[in-house]
A and B are shown apart, each in its own frame.
Chain A
Amino acid sequence: MPAVQETVDRVRAIDLDQYKWGFSTSIESEKAPKGLSEEVIRFISGKKGEPQWLLDWRFEALRRWRTLEEPNWARVHHPKIEYDELYYYAAPKKGGGPASLDEVDPELLKTFEKLGIPLKEQAVLAGVEGARVAVDAVFDSVSVATTYKEELAKAGVIFCSISEAVREHPDLVRKYLGSVVPVTDNFFATLNSAVFTDGSFVYVPKGVRCPMELSTYFRINEQNTGQFERTLIIADKGSYVSYLEGCTAPKRDENQLHAAVVELVALDDAEIKYSTVQNWFPGDKEGKGGIYNFVTKRGDCRGKNSKISWTQVETGSAITWKYPSCILRGDNSQGEFYSIAVSNGHQQVDSGTKMLHLGKNTVSRIISKGIAAGRSDNTYRGLVSAHRKAAGARNFTNCDSLLIGQECGAHTVPYIESKNATAVFEHEATTSKIAEDQLFYCTQRGLNEEEAVALIVNGFVKDVLQQLPMEFAVEAQKLIAVSLEGSVG
């Protein structure tokens, strides 16, 4: 899966700024009017031909959102977001939902190509073995191309855009949408519920092991358009699915808001692995113009013996506010969170996880590796809690931070709550610096400073990289190196 590899090469090749994908396509787009109102929501819902229940659901969210305040507890700072100045819907005019890639706007394909996204899936289309990654590409807000659907359909796996799911599988959507992240969960999730435009839907039926890794690339393209993705993944009893998400965005002057919601549901004995490589525009050298990434990701281990793993490599965004969480409801269920968060320049990252132990003998594991360089701020915030009934709950948390240079900061904020005396929670944390002596040792052996930093950093994040699917891991490793370019010397 060469997506990230190609992107990395491209970044290397175009040596203009810290972030080198500053272009936008000239595809005409169709926008809803600026700002947030019943009319805009009606417009979005109408565009998608949604049923009344969903429109009502959105209205309810809007009503609740108007009563909420933007949270301010995270260690991030940004200019006030003018929600009335944003566009909440933009769709490429052509290619509203083509049946095949041939029908996709060539301009659009070119954009993907520039990004190195293998949407064209040369390999896949040519039928090359080993390139079997299904891509549900989201261009701005509308899914314009989906590959490998038939193969998945054979296995009974549903993988489509959420709009399509609303039309084709309304019962599943209605049953599970908002069941993990309720409409009123938090400011950004509620906003998303009101205006979500598109995203992915996955359903893996009972006993089915999804025959390939499912993958989505996100890209924000339209100027001033908030991106409100909504993803819903359901693994029915005894099933397994691995889902990969990766993203890039073009350069912009104004900050761009991204408030996605991802809901995962694992029933009895099911397992979901969700991996993210996130590389949005972090802002220029002064920290201007990057993406604001306020995401709600939550997995519900609803059934007994179920398992949900989050693995994330975060290298982008001006501001990241993100806490992929697990609700360990089923007895013996397991939650995992593996994270690498790299911050450089003026980036602000406040990320972590929540593990809520509700069922008996539930187990969670948190491995977080924060790397701060430049003048960035990197905070790990984690909550582990055991409910009264969570007898025998266990958690192991390991949080390591690595500082590169003198002007960055790393912070660890663990919260632990236990209402059951038999729960056992362990927490380890370290903060280290790349020592001058370590760098000198490596350079004496022939590595240049950047290679030396990359090598040391890769050693630092090894435990997490190992959790990613192989190809993804190799590319994530390179992406990390690119993100840290220019952090020493």
Chain B
Amino acid sequence: MKNLNRRDFFKSAALGVSLTVLGTSKAKGSDKMLSDDRLGILVDTDVCVGCRHCEWACRVAHNLPTPDLDNYSDNSVFKEYRRPDAGSLTVVNKFENEKNPLLPIHVKVQCMHCERPACVSACIVGALTKGDDGSVVWDDDKCIGCRYCMVACPFQIPTYDYDRSIDPHIRKCDLCTDRRKNDELPACVNICPNEALLFGKRDAVLAVAKTRVKRKSDVYVNHIYGEHEVGGTSWMYIARKSFDKLNMPHLAANPAPGISESIQHGIFAYFVPPVTLYALLGTIMWITKRRSGDDDELISDEEEKGKGGKL
């Protein structure tokens, strides 16, 4: 099993690097047609009340250490801006609402499940994949813990479980793949008291977002975050305040692989020798292994012969 993976890894490393070096790299998945039925989730920050039940449910669903739900009434966590970490795949942050200080704005953060995920194209061993349903999931068996995905992600989402660097674990929202297999809604969507997280087919969800923004044009800014950002994302947001002010990165509409490629190029610019070495080594190993396969036969023949000679 592990051997196979290693071999896979070297193959893809060699392939990845040679493609990158040649500069003809085509992002994985960018050719792939996205299914019309792929999923989407709309976060309506005007409806979210910041109860953080979604945080709680997400932890429970992923068997992460979970404090009692009653502890989630503590408002003081909002004092600092938080990011998802290895212990919580999603977090809710609070922002001022200048128009009405009594009704602050809450914004849930998690992996956006990009339509053209930079993490997927950055991962050199194919541990991250974009599924037909739109979800971007991580494979425990393939990950080598290089953390390229963390650098590539325009939203700085994947987190690394530093406590277990021997058996590396990248953690991020997986769109509750396991729950959905059992016909259950993602845990956060299911628990939200206000349905601030609207789950459905991406097209339908986007249509609802458009209607809400249009109907309450005096409330919402005319921008659906995630509709076009980095080529579109599965999670989308609407809000009454410009997204720059909600700590959402300002991103252009060109797909993230472009970004990740340039990041990769950037990284490789510094790391060319070792990477080329890797590639060379990989290629050499691959070739020698094939050869050694032949050699093995030769050797064994010789050995047999030798043995035979000895005998």
Query: Do A and B interact with each other, yes or no?
Result: no
On B, residues with C-beta under 8 Å from A are: none
On A, residues with C-beta under 8 Å from B are: none
